[in-house]
C-alpha cells in the first residue's frame, strides 16, 4: 500500500464542491478542509506508485478550482493506535 498526502490550494468559492469531488475519486480515502497555507488535504491510498499518477496527475489535477498542489509520499506510518495494539498482544 502506498500513501500520499496531497496539499491543495483551491479557489475559495469552490472549496466545498472540490472537497466532495476529490473525496469521490477512487484511491482517495479522506479529504480535510484545513486552515493555513492550504485549503484542503487529501489522503490517497493506492496499491502501487504508478497508481498515484492515475489518481493525482490524471484525475485530481484536472478538477476545476485547484490552484496548486504539493504531494508528499509517505515512507512509514506511525500511529498511537498501532503502538498501543502492539503492547496489548498476548495479554488475553
SS3 44: strand
d(CA 54, CA 29): 15
The pLDDT value given to residue 51:
95
The pLDDT value given to residue 86:
56
**Tens digit of pLDDT for each residue in 6-43?**
999 999 999 999 999 999 999 999 999 999 999 999 99
Cell of 32: 480535510
Are 40 and 2 within 8 A, CB to CB? no
d(CA 10, CA 38): 8
pLDDT over 60 (residue 2): yes
pLDDT over 80 (residue 67): yes
pLDDT over 60 (residue 91): no
Exposed, middle or buried by CB within 10 Å (0-12, 13-18, 19+), for 78? exposed
**Tens digit of pLDDT for each residue in 70-87?**
999 999 888 776 656 655
Q: Domains (ranges, CATH) in the chain?
A: 2-87 (3.30.70.920)
Amino acid at each position: 500500500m502506498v500513501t500520499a498526502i496531497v496539499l491543495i490550494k483551491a479557489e475559495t468559492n469552490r472549496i466545498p464542491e472540490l472537497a466532495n469531488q476529490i473525496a469521490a475519486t477512487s484511491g482517495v480515502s479522506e479529504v480535510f478542509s484545513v486552515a493555513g497555507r492550504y485549503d484542503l488535504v487529501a489522503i490517497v491510498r493506492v496499491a502501487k506508485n504508478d497508481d498515484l499518477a492515475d489518481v493525482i496527475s490524471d484525475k485530481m489535477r484536472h478538477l476545476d478550482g485547484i490552484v496548486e498542489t504539493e504531494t508528499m509520499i509517505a515512507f512509514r506510518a506511525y500511529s498511537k493506535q498501532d503502538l498501543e495494539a502492539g503492547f496489548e498482544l498476548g495479554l488475553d
